[in-house]
């Protein structure tokens, strides 16, 4: 984040996703890559490439809204981390992350979801509400299997 803030000279918002969020919250000790969503008036790709090379880390442009419909008000639920230079860093909405992880279904994703719930960062009833809010848009994501996605959500939210 410091390096990004040092290089980027225009206002930007960067949302950490997945492993970056999990590591900063202490849910796991490490991540293989840093997934981010960047919002800026300029293309930040060249700067991300420079940071990747300089720090020898893997940064990928990936966020829940690439895999599931964006949840209503996701930006308002995104948790502020810090400001570096003119860049504000946030954790991408944890409900969006939790649902995207449920859709994907990997073991590590399920562990992250369990940590979000046990830490009280994600509440089961609200997770189900937000899933229901996007259920009508699932067909816009052809890689999704709506019935199995809903089944995964219900397994976690029906306690």
List all residues 6 or more positions away from 68 whose beta carbon is below 8 Å from its beta carbon. Answer: 96, 99, 100, 103, 134, 138, 141, 144, 149
CB of 46 within 8 A of CB of 89?
Answer: no
pLDDT in tens, 131-146: 999 999 999 999 999 9
**Sign of the CA dihedral 120, 104, 143, 43?**
positive
Give this prediction's pTM. Answer: 0.94
pLDDT in tens, 60-96: 999 999 999 999 999 999 999 999 999 999 999 999 9
pLDDT in tens, 33-55: 999 999 998 888 888 899 999 99
The ranges assigned to domains in the chain are 2-157
CB of 99 within 8 A of CB of 92?
Answer: no
């Amino acid at each position: 984040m410091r390096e990004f803030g040092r290089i980027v000279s225009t206002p930007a918002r960067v949302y950490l996703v997945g492993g970056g969020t999990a590591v900063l919250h202490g849910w796991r000790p490490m991540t293989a890559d840093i997934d981010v969503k960047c919002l800026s008036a300029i293309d930040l790709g060249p700067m991300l490439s420079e940071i990747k090379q300089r720090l020898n880390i893997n940064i990928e442009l990936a966020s829940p809204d690439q895999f599931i419909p964006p949840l209503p008000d996701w930006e308002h639920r995104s948790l502020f981390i810090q400001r570096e230079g003119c860049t504000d860093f946030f954790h991408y909405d944890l409900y969006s992350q939790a649902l995207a992880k449920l859709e994907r279904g990997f073991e590590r994703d399920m562990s992250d979801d369990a940590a979000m719930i046990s830490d009280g960062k994600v509440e089961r009833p609200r997770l189900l509400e937000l899933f229901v809010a996007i259920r009508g848009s699932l067909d816009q994501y052809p890689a999704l299997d709506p019935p199995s996605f809903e089944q995964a959500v219900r397994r976690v939210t029906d306690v």
